[in-house]
Structure 1
Amino acid sequence: MPEWSRRTLLRTGALTGVLGAGWYVAERPHCRPVFDPYWTFRGHHWAPVVPTDEGVLVAEGHTVTGASRFRIGLLTPGGGQARWATVVEGGGFGHPTVGGGAVYVGTGRDTVLSLDLQTGRVEWTYDAGGVEEYGGGAWGRPLVADGRVYVGISHSESPNADPGDPDEFTHRLVALDAREGIEQWATEVTTPVSAGPVRVADTVVAGSEDGILRGFDPETGDVRWEFSLSGGLSYRPVVTSAESLTLVTDDGTAVHVDVPDGTMRRTKEVVREVSTVTCGDDTLYVGGESGRVVALPVTPLSDLTTWPARWTYDAGVRVGGVAAGEIDGSGVSVVDQSGHLHRLTDDGRRAGRVRVVDPQYENQCGWVPDHHLVTGAVRSRGTLFVSSEWWVRAVDTDGA
């Protein structure tokens, strides 16, 4: 049976144009040798890796619905062996989070699971009640706070719902009891929750795909404020401080928001089209479709009359993932969509560039860069974890 995802629907037209435009040839005729990874864990449609004290969490089938079987597992960081793996059918997994010894993750079957971090055993399941086969799901990273799990979830009561029509689905932010999975409240929103939720200044903030940002009362789910952003919102990190947050819209605009009263303090056009967002320490790293990477300060903005970038780097190819700050406290790793890793210094200068994927096309050095294959990059304990459509790979960036 076919598999559908929101990402697939949005990209079908673009990929058709790319394939008709011809092949991309990089560094022909002499390709750089592929840098050997520590390990590779294969599968399909991986969400960004989540490092934990117990191992590396990997979730398969991100944004995919349908009849396939997908896994979430805990891998050993050094060898990539699975300590445990849990399988679901009918849809993949969302972006997991960890809290209090449990893993919380949504699925494409309109459910939210609590798993024991040590064993992968399912402790409870929350079911939103959807009956559709395609579309819907809970794909964002849940927030764990105050004994609750906050997560966005979409579902339809029609078994033949059109996955490309958000109006056929009910979209909600729900609060669940973290120990038992009992629904505490559920507040309907206009489109799928794709930014957050995050907790700032006694407010739960979440943005939906249509660009509406809302502040919710964590006890009742009442909407305290809301406003519309000019660009839509996709599944990317939201950076928080004591009373403010920073996020990036799909059109590449960084937005800094005062949470208590729900007002925008500052905006800045960073890139024309954003492809990835990462936060390290007090810096937001924004990668673009053009290959541009911008390092933008996020705190303290109250002292700035303008919002200047710390540095800008040109990878030359669409950026797939940026990772910073977790190897030795310095440096930035950029993975582009042709399968190359760029090692940058703290001030954005290139310190090295290697190829970290095998060629996938005849006469190519890596991937076709107009495809969206890299899904994320995270650094932890001296290792870079790169997730893609086909595998999760661990790379020693110090040796690259």
Structure 2
Amino acid sequence: MSTETHYKRQLFVILKLFIIMSFMTKCPKCPNYESKKTTNVYRHLREVHNASEAEVDQFRIQRKEGKSLTTKGSGAWKCPVCELVIPTEKGLKNHMNQKHRKKPIDPSTITLATTSPTMVSPPPKRIQLPKSTEKSLVSSVATVRAQPTQKPGGRYKCPVENCTFFKTRKELALHFSEKHDPGSELETMSFETETEFKIWLTCRQEETCSSMQISLSSHDGNRITHFRLCRHEGSYQSRAKVKNVGESKKKTGDNVCPAFIRTEKHALTGEIGVVGYFSHYGHSLEHARRALSDTETEYLIGLMKEGFNNRQIIRKLDQKYDENSRLGFVLSKDLSYLRKTYCLNEGQLDDDDMKSIRRRVERDDPEDGIYHFSQPDSNGDNFILVFMTPSQQELCAKYNKRRVCIDDTHKTTSGALI
């Protein structure tokens, strides 16, 4: 290797550390609009130029061809399996490895015969599209990479004022338990199955009023690692002009909450090793702000499947649970979200409406207020259902001395109102 080539390579490595290459995408219909985010250009095409989805898809292909022309000076590549257009050959290799990975060979099919009963077809050839003759819609922009500030001692600072930095969350937790919260401790556990781990995690989160969410995952051979952090760690500033939702659950700002859980699962044995710390700092511990656990969610879904509506469920929870449980703070919007997620219509006990009514009659709940039920005959006639809920009875008893109103369908339905 010559000295000139060596210096060129060293210069390229240094430039990669300090320079970021980004791309500006231009609108194909108006030359004055461009953006670093392609999603902004897609939205611009739809809203300003009323572009159809077919036109947007065609622009996606043009953008990839333009990016290939700008970076490599050649044509883009097409996946031979799904025909997805990809700007670079390296990107095509990564796409094939991730989306169209070869199936492992079955040892039972291996034979020394000249003609194997299961002939394996050769891998598909890579297809490179011809070089685009149109002007590229993508231009490269070089920006200086922001250098991270070096923190003395590590990246995790103890949230207590005038304290030190630590390299890992485990070191931070050990320091916090020794210096600031002597009653807490770093927990180390091992579980043979995923079910045992989930039961333990649910119990510990309910006991400590914690709410953890997976923040980072990694795969290293047969080991799968998950980092769960406190969902209240950090800050969030909404850009919305009008806020129709509650305040953010992020409360610690720039500080770190020492609570965390690190799990390491062995893919072959299924064994799960856990290191966790459940002491919090920087936010209040309230069950009202804690996310519903799997056990609590299953309990609410069970009540919905029994046919209780949202109002009845909230009344039952208020009678059974207090402020020491998350179920004591369930709101109607929480139940509506669960119904939408699991496709559970309020008050419906069965997909068949007639079966749903029969089950409700058999349940004989005073809240339903069913007084008479007559099943329809084979022709679907003579169906009668008379009901009056307790709230309707109260209104009737209060105002029946004035007048009684009877409403009619005014011949707008197929059946007559009796």
TM-score, normalisation: structure 2: 0.22
Report 1 or 2 for greater relative contact order, CA contacts < 8 Å, sequence distance ≥ 6. Answer: 1
Which structure's residues are more often strand, by fraction? Answer: 1
- Please identify the structure whose Cα radius of gyration is greater: 2
Structure with the larger helix share = 2
